[in-house]
Amino acid sequence: MTSQSPEPADAPAPHSDNARLLANRDFILLLAGQTVSNLGDIVFDITLTLWIAVNIAAGQTWAPMAVSGALLAASLPVLVAGPIAGVFVDRWNRRNTMLLMDAVRAILVALLLIADAGRLPARAQIAAIYAVVFLVSVCSQFFSPARVATIVDIVDEPLRAQAASTSQLLSSVALIVGPAAAAPLFFRLGVRWALILNALSFAFSWTAIFVVRPRKSPCGTNPATTSSLAGEFRDGLRFFAGNSVLRTMLIASVIVMLGGGAFNALGIFFLTENLHATPELFGIVSTTFGAGMLAGSILAAVVAPRWGLTRVFSSATVSVGALILVLARLRSFPPALVTLFLLGAVIPALQVTLGPLMLKVTPRDFIGRVVSVISPVTSAAEMLSMLLAGTLASTVLRNLHARAFGITFGPYDTILTVTGFLALAAGFYSMVTLKQPPSHPATGTQKI
């Protein structure tokens, strides 16, 4: 690996517009690879949920725990590999790191075809799914911070919020197209075609990244400046602990993820039990949510520069909590779709603001380590939520049918209600504590 000394502050960038961003060849290539890979991941995730809930564990009382287990397998590597991955990403060639991770992920997903073709017993199929999901997630812990750091190398600071909005817009399109294709693909053609598509999506991403040529050397910290990996990791923790903006973002994200993981684990069961819909409509739920995200991505790009990143983040978090509380009380499919559309429209405000805000207060040579602090902690919160939700829904809350103040509570809506209050708490917390932070010296004076 090549090394590089810390870079000087970026020079002020000239006035930017859509044409300038879209003329950035390397950004467009990286964006195209990300979009296709996201589409494959969405089809893959929905397929795994349906594969376990509808086929492997159909009619079993442990079905919610089995679905939660797949989600946990995807989250656990964030704790195991995430913290140290950021140190390596700050040292390594980031483009080569992304290429290697895409190649390995394509091979792993293709290997999962054996579990389908071999007609393995239920336990063996679930074990194979968990193993592949775990290893793919390990690769993602290296890929994601490398991609974030590469954005710094190929996109000027004044354009990064716009780049985040464009990325979120295309991710929302993938959320519309992916679920719409995933459920019909699964029920008509089986699981194998979803697996093939996801493997091919990683191959496409690899090809796009292969022709990216960052303007700057893609390595971060000079290894000579620190004595060991442990020393670099401690440097990252000290920087994170001393930054009030990063601390507040982390605390709010943890509170949100304590609730968000529960919805991911129990969504299909809430659909069938509370909304009285069939599993075939699971794809429509995700498509509606994606349509809301598409609209929200456009709106967030307009609102964030006017309101400021911190205000938009806090307001959106409160809105997420309120909408989840509404969703928990619904008992029919059509109004739930409307609520999910609105929920999807709010989520992009969080995603569009967090990335640019993090990059604005983080020096380039610490990006990998900062990402690798946030991801493991928030993942731990999500894992705890998924584990508790799946376990409670399968055990002590399984036969819950309570009534209080004229409101009926079952297992799934009770858990969703708790998640809504958690999100509300996170929003009000960030409103109180998240102040307007100063820009990092290497950045401009954009309102945050």
pLDDT(16) > 60: no
Label residue 117 by pLDDT band (50, 70, 90).
Answer: low
d(CA 143, CA 372): 11
Minimal CA–CA distance to 271: which of 255, 289, 256, 291?
289
Q: What is the pLDDT of residue 4?
A: 37
Q: What is the pLDDT of residue 132?
A: 92
d(CA 139, CA 103): 10
Label residue 404 by pLDDT band (50, 70, 90).
Answer: confident
158, 10 Cβ separation under 8 angstroms: no
Q: What is the pLDDT of residue 338?
A: 94
**pLDDT digits 0-9 by tens, 328-387:** 999 889 999 999 999 888 888 887 777 777 877 888 778 778 877 777 788 778 778 878
Q: Which amino acid is at 121?
A: P
**pLDDT digits 0-9 by tens, 155-177:** 877 777 777 778 877 877 777 78
d(CA 195, CA 182): 11
d(CA 328, CA 306): 32
Q: Does domain 24-433 have CATH number 3.40.50.1820?
A: no
Domain boundaries, the chain: 24-433
Label residue 38 by pLDDT band (50, 70, 90).
Answer: confident
Mean pLDDT, residues 79-99: 85
- How confident is the prediction for the chain on average, in pLDDT? 79
pLDDT(137) > 80: yes
Mean pLDDT, residues 99-105: 94
Q: How many CA atoms lie within 13 A of 122 on its CB side?
A: 13
pLDDT(219) > 70: no
Mean pLDDT, residues 50-58: 83
Lowest average pLDDT, out of 35-44, 90-99, 426-435, goes to 426-435
Q: What is the pLDDT of residue 216?
A: 55
Mean pLDDT, residues 12-29: 67
Beta strand 402-404 with 407-409 is antiparallel
Q: Which residues pair with 402 in a beta bridge?
A: 409
Q: What is the pLDDT of residue 288?
A: 85
pLDDT(436) > 60: no
Label residue 440 by pLDDT band (50, 70, 90).
Answer: very low
Task: Write the Ramachandran bin of 119: left for phi over 0, alpha for psi from -120 to 50, otherwise beta.
Answer: left
The share of the chain scoring above pLDDT 70, in percent, equals: 88
Give the chain's end-to-end CA distance (angstroms, integer).
Answer: 36
Mean pLDDT, residues 62-89: 83
**pLDDT digits 0-9 by tens, 254-299:** 877 777 777 777 878 888 888 888 887 877 887 788 788 888 888 8
Q: Bigger pLDDT: 41 or 283?
A: 41
d(CA 115, CA 292): 35
Lowest average pLDDT, out of 130-134, 195-199, 379-383, goes to 379-383
Mean pLDDT, residues 392-399: 83
Tokens (6 digits) for 35: 């979009």
Tokens (6 digits) for 378: 């928030």
Is 404 strand, coil or helix?
A: strand
Q: Which residue has the tokens 């993090």?
A: 358
pLDDT(135) > 90: yes
